[in-house]
Amino acid sequence: MKSRKKRDSWGSRFGIIMAVAGSAVGLGNFLRFPAKAASNGGGAFMIPYFISLVLLGIPLMWIEWTLGRYGGGFEHGTAPGIFHSIWRKNRFIKYFGVIGIFGPLVIFIYYTFIESWTLAYSLFSLVGKSTAITDRTAMQAFLKGFQGLERNQFFNGIGPAYLFFLVTFGLNIWVIYYGIKGGIERLCKVAMPLLFVFGLFLMVRVMTLGTPDPAHPAWNIANGFGFLWNTDFSALKSARVWLEAAGQIFFTLSVGIGVILTYASYLSKGDDVVLSGLTAAGTNEVAEVILGGSIVIPAAFVFFGPVEVQSIARSSVFNLGFVTMPLILNRLPLAELLGFLWFMLLFLAGITSSVSLAQPAIAFLEDEFDISRRRAVTLFSIAAFVLCQPGIFFLGRGVVDELDFWGGTFFLVVFATIETILFAWVFGMEEAWDEIHRGADMHVPRIYKWIIKYITPFFLFAILGLWFWQEWLPIIFMKAVPPGNRPFILGTRAGLCVLFLTLAVMVKLAWRRRRARGTQ
């Protein structure tokens, strides 16, 4: 019988922490978080945010690190195999694990295109192509022209955007080709510290803005931070604020996706997961709360005032990052350098996330079909490249929003609920507690034993229940979708169903091979 190849591994604890933090620190830290906080009660948003972090984010981080390390001991690097290792008597549980491959792949196929915009804009800033624009209408036209949504004086088609997509896609494949230690870890050990340097520089520059407009002395940086952090306690009465805060925790920590499961599967049995997981989560929170909360919204307040900043906070993250922020930076000295630093920061945050999204599918091919890294990356590259095309060419038809909802929102909560129940109730909290502390450098407070078993699953079921009650029917029947876009949305949903079924069939074939080898 052919011997199975040795699985990849991390080179250092610093490397795995930087990689997990890199997976979590993404575009949402610098665009989504400040917008959500400012538009949902400012400081009041932070109350449910930190409650969600303590009761949802940190427990799920520990659950995924522990499950991943445990499954890696059985040579499983993805959710189907890890779930099967936990509940061997249930022959269907591995199919629930398909979500842990499906979700990251769906996010990857639109995230890479958006990530390529940041690389393009960093170059546009450096050469001065966009830094002369000081009018919002013109900057929006620049963005739409680049995205291929219209032809105008800036761009005559989607060609430039597609070129940058090809470069970005190629960079992602190049990194993941070299594996866990030689590719992803090496990238994150350089990119994450550099990201923090760029972020700190921009934060300091924003904090020294002063009062640019003498006609509006109240438009100063102190009031800008006050706008973001002052507490409107009446906002806490809204269920939407609590749901938005919980959703942001999912989004920012990359829990419920399946990436952390895969990353942790490359640990050895004695490697710590408690302190490492907490450090990775803490690194992400510093990037989000301190850096992300100190750049866009306070700067927008100084230049546009309290009334306009409300609409800015509620605008799409595309407008926030690619229209509002460039307009602000273009009014400052050294606009070319500042613009480059801003978009390169976003690019570094993007690529450290996107390479992590590719890893579950590649690990599945390597582990369950016992094929080489080179062949797995080749198969992934071909499939992912084809799947990326609808989001690129039908961006204006709502395809990316649809992919983001199913891959990056709904299935995150579903997957997190499944793994929490498996961990606390199927694996058993006593055995799970021992597994968490295997090789641990610190002890988890005992209250988390109760939180993980009862509070976290209750929180997750509450989120799902409220979503079904408030959102299910309008979304399913496309109430908010323009009639002209509905065929594209239906086509996207059909494609997602085919993709999910294909992955489920691949899981079935993989387990048939395992039974034939006697390694199940």
Tokens of 216: 């509006």
Q: Output the pTM of the full model.
A: 0.94
From the list 393, 397, 390, 389, the residue with the least C-alpha distance to 484 is: 397
The CA distance from 345 to 22, in Å, is: 12
What Rg value do the Cα atoms of the chain yield, rounded? 23
Q: How far is CA 93 from the centre of its chain?
A: 25
pLDDT of 234 reads 78
pLDDT of 218 reads 85
Domain boundaries, the chain: 13-515
- Residue 379: count other Cβ atoms within 10 Å of its Cβ: 15
pLDDT of 236 reads 78
- Residue 236: count other Cβ atoms within 10 Å of its Cβ: 15
The answer to whether residues 360 and 259 touch, using CB atoms and an 8 Å cutoff, is yes
The CA distance from 184 to 199, in Å, is: 21
From the list 296, 343, 371, the residue with the least C-alpha distance to 32 is: 296
What topology does CATH give the domain 13-515?
Hydantoin permease (1.10.4160)
From the list 263, 317, 277, the residue with the least C-alpha distance to 26 is: 317
- 178 φ/ψ sector (left φ>0, alpha ψ -120 to 50, else beta): alpha
Question: Cα separations (Å) of 191 from 21, 267, 325, 377?
Answer: 11, 22, 22, 22
The answer to whether residues 376 and 365 touch, using CB atoms and an 8 Å cutoff, is yes
Helix, strand counts (H, E) of the chain: 28, 0
From the list 238, 236, 240, the residue with the least C-alpha distance to 248 is: 240
- Residue 478: count other Cβ atoms within 10 Å of its Cβ: 16
pLDDT of 1 reads 41
The answer to whether residues 122 and 171 touch, using CB atoms and an 8 Å cutoff, is no
The CA distance from 429 to 431, in Å, is: 6
The CA distance from 384 to 65, in Å, is: 26
Tokens of 434: 């021992």
The CA distance from 122 to 440, in Å, is: 41
Give the end-to-end CA distance of the chain in Å, rounded to a whole number.
15
Q: pLDDT truncated to tens, each residue of the chain (520 aa)?
A: 445 567 888 999 999 999 999 999 998 899 888 888 887 777 788 889 999 999 999 999 999 999 999 999 998 999 999 999 999 999 899 999 999 999 999 999 999 999 999 999 999 999 999 988 988 899 999 999 999 999 999 999 999 999 999 999 999 999 999 999 999 999 999 999 999 999 999 999 999 987 777 778 888 898 888 888 887 777 777 777 887 788 888 878 888 889 999 999 999 988 999 999 999 999 999 999 999 888 988 898 888 888 888 788 777 778 888 998 999 999 999 999 999 999 999 999 999 999 999 999 999 999 999 999 999 999 999 999 999 999 999 999 999 999 988 988 888 889 999 999 999 999 999 999 999 999 999 999 999 999 999 999 999 998 888 878 877 888 888 988 999 999 999 999 999 999 999 999 999 999 998 887 766 5
